[in-house]
Each structure stands twice: as C-alpha cells, then as structure tokens.
Structure 1
Amino acid sequence: MKNTSLLAALVLISASCGSASQIIKQDFAAAPPARASSPASSSAEAWDDTRARIVRTFAFRALERNLVEEARGYLREACEMDPGDAECHAALARLFLAEGDARAALPYATQAVKANPTNAEAKLVLAAALSENKREQEATTHLENVWSTAQPHVEVARALLTHHASLGGTAAARSFVN
C-alpha cells in the first residue's frame, strides 16, 4: 500500500455499510418530489425518481453483501440516472479507490462534491482521489477546507494527519496537532 493510500483507506473505513442502511431508510421514508405540471411528464419523472432510488438501494445492498461487481454496475447506473446523488457518486469513487483505480475515482468524487458542496464525507473522498492522482496540494486544500468548515471530527483529523505524514511532512502534521 502506497503512503497516499492511507488517506484513501481512512476514507473507506469512515464510510461504513451502516451509513448505507441509513441512506436506504432515508430514501424510502422521503416522499417523492413533485416536479412537473403535466400528468404524463409527472408520471414519467416519478418513475425515473423511483427507479433511481431502487437501483441505489440495490447498489448499497450489494455493497453490504460484498458483491463488488454488482454494486459497481448498480452504482454506475444510479450515477447516470441522478447526477445530483452525492452519496452514490462518493460510494463509487470509494469503490474505485479501494480497487486502486484512482483515475476512475476522481470524476465521481468531483461530481459528489459538485452535487453536495457541504457534504464533508464527499470532500474527504475527493481529497483521497486527488491525493491518489498525485495532486497533493489540491488534496491538502480540500482537507483543510473540510477541517475549517465542518464540525471537528476525529475522521477528518485522522485524514489530515495521515495525509501530511504520507507526504513526508511530519512537521506539517505536528503543526496541525499543535
């Protein structure tokens, strides 16, 4: 495992299957959004929303059962159906990072943050993808932004420390601790 992979590993650990179950429960507890004015387009859009939620549920259930290939397929489909679904984009980016495919992870991580700029977990995934793609300065900027804008959390602190240490910057890590 490369040094920069430590950051990716921390991000993967923080995104447990427990959060997948929570996301699934939220999906089906929420009422479907009303968007269109005509009954035909409303029905088609409602079906698209429902289908996207079903595919998303399949993806997270497959992840819970460690069915990686199935999960990847469902996640890709869910991401195509709903570019605004930050959780699916972040999950697919985490999956690619876990497999060592940082290049494939980066666009999904970027889209996750674009879809939900306040989502600290999506920002951590983006920082990991940037770091794995040898864009350490951008990763550092994202991590420091998460630290300064989100409520302090042990996972964010751990990610920052690991990131600084992986860059050989024990001085930067010590400075952060102080």
Structure 2
Amino acid sequence: MTDHDGPATVAGAAARSDAWFEELFAAHAGAVHRYFLRRAPRDDVDDLTADVLATAWRRRADVPDGHELPWLYRTAGFVLANHRRKGRPIPVEALPDDVDGEYAADPADLVVADTQVTEALAALSVRDRHVLMLHAWEGLDGEELAAALGIGRGGAAAALSRARARLRTAWDERVSA
C-alpha cells in the first residue's frame, strides 16, 4: 500500500528522525523565511515559515532526498496561496518596506525596487511572476525549478523561457511608453 496514510508512509516517516529534521531546519529555514519576506506581510512571515516546516515534519516521508529545498518552496507556495484565500492582503511579490539588515542586500531585491521593473512584473500573470522569482530570487534552475513547480524539467525550462519572453515584452512596452 503506497497511499498517503499507508504503511509505506509510516515506515518512511520513522526513518526520518529528529536529527534529519534538525539538519533540514538548519540548512533551509533561512531560505524559506526569505521566500516569505519577499511575498508576505512582515507580521505573517514567521508563522508562514513555521507552517511550512511543520508540514515538512508531518510529511517527512514525502520530502524527496536531494530536493528538499524545492519541495519546501513548493509547499511554501501552497501555504501562501492558502493564506491569501483567507483574505489577508499580501503585496504582489513586493520588496518589504523596512529592511532591517537581517539579510544582506540582494541585487534581485534592488532590481525589483525599481518602479519600471515592478510595473513590468505586475503586467505578468501570477504564474509567470512565480516562475521568474523562483529562478531569480531563490536561485532555482533545472531540476530544482521543476520540483518546485511540480512539473518535469522540460516543462520548467519552457515555463521559464515563456515567462522571460513575456517579461521582455512587458519591459519593452513600459520603456517605449
């Protein structure tokens, strides 16, 4: 039996100990936190991060070896979508208003702070923005991007290519206007 609640899942979860989770947390909690800093109201970031990590613990048998971070980003996308459905206002992939120095300035953050770039990104679909931000902000490419999007590697490459083309078009429209 291989369903979500079956014996295979129970055995897989038992193999993933507290030490496994501590390693996962140490390696990736900061990246998940930064993911939400870029996408959610500052007051909700810690709770959203905790939700993702709690899900990783509960579903530890489902976390693929070697692709833990893309799995966490995919889960973070679902957690954020659920958060948005609850009616809380969330900026569209916006830079936080107050950078408290917790993280070094990221060139991607500085680019998105530019008004023309923000307008070009706002002209894209949510999906295109998500693909571009996973690539630019989170540094995912190839198999990691595919895992985070829940699609094959070829599909991820095509989605990134299409999103880049649409961003170029949106940029050209903004610059020529």
TM-score by length of 2: 0.25
